[in-house]
Amino acid sequence: MSNRYTIYTPPPHTILHILFQDEHLLVVNKPAGLLSVPGKGLEKQDCLVSRCAAEFGEIHVAHRLDMSTSGIIVFARSKDAVRAMNQLFAGRDVSKTYIAVVDGLIEQDSGEINAPLMVDWPNRPKQKIDAEGKPSHTHYKVIDRNEKTNTSRVELIPITGRSHQLRVHMMFLGHAILGDEFYASDAAFQKSERLLLHATQLHFIHPFTEQPLHIQCPPDF
């Protein structure tokens, strides 16, 4: 097995890629390899929320992306705003779309995965599919297939929001996401220098202005 778990080396901080901002919310494109929030230890204090706070002051976490995942993430700029966003996420009133490149040629053009997830306690933070786990539901649609590289580009829409849901569900389907240090085979892991998973669209009604927000950010892969 390849050495997949290396020392945390976040990408250099140059400039924040701001997708939307107002007095209530800050929406940013998170680079792959950067923690959303601080981890344990001094070496893991550099993260997206600390970088945003350094520039904008008060920042609250409304949701997170895995360190290896890139794309759209929303921060709140007040306690009232984070409460409002927490209610939207809890009520599943935020629509999220991801793009991934997976190993192999997916046979069906579209489908859904209903497979309950729970923590794989001996191997944390990994998750596993278990009948006793929490209900977990993902829609997928194939964008294209590349026979030369034996990969598929897919659109993923998580209906639920479990930890590692998209990673585990694609592995369960038999098509692990390329570069996935937790769930991909050695061959699929080595096909990419990073996890090819990107939060590309986010849609919700602004909790204060009541205007629809449709944030888009294409992946760089």
- What local confidence, expressed as pLDDT, does residue 165 receive? 98
**Catalytic residue selected from 66, 109, 120, 220:** 66
Over residues 11-51, the pLDDT tens digits come to 999 899 999 999 999 999 999 999 999 999 999 999 999 99
160 CB burial (10 A radius; 0-12, 13-18, 19+): middle
Give the β-pairing of 197-205 and 70-76: parallel
Tell me how many domains the chain contains: 1
pLDDT beneath 50, residues of the chain = 1-2
- What local confidence, expressed as pLDDT, does residue 3 receive? 64
Residue 165 in any domain: the answer is yes
Residue 86 in any domain: the answer is no
Over residues 153-174, the pLDDT tens digits come to 999 999 999 999 999 999 999 9
- What local confidence, expressed as pLDDT, does residue 5 receive? 72
HEC assignment per residue over the chain: CCCCCCCCCCCCCCCCCEEEECCCEEEEEECCCCCCCCCCCHHHCCCHHHHHHHHHCCCEECCCCCCCCEEEEEEECCHHHHHHHHHHHHCCCCEEEEEEEEECCCCCCEEEEECCEEECHHHCCCEEECCCCECCEEEEEEEEEECCCCEEEEEEEECCCCCCHHHHHHHHHCCCECCCCCCCCHHHHCCCCCCCEEEEEEEEECCCCCCEEEEECCCCC
- What local confidence, expressed as pLDDT, does residue 7 receive? 87
Domain hosting 167: range is 98-197
- What local confidence, expressed as pLDDT, does residue 83 receive? 98
- What local confidence, expressed as pLDDT, does residue 1 receive? 39
Which CATH number belongs to the domain containing residue 111 in this structure? 3.30.2350.10
**46 has catalytic annotation:** no
Residue 75 in any domain: the answer is no
Alpha carbon of residue 73 to chain centroid: 9
Residue 130 in any domain: the answer is yes
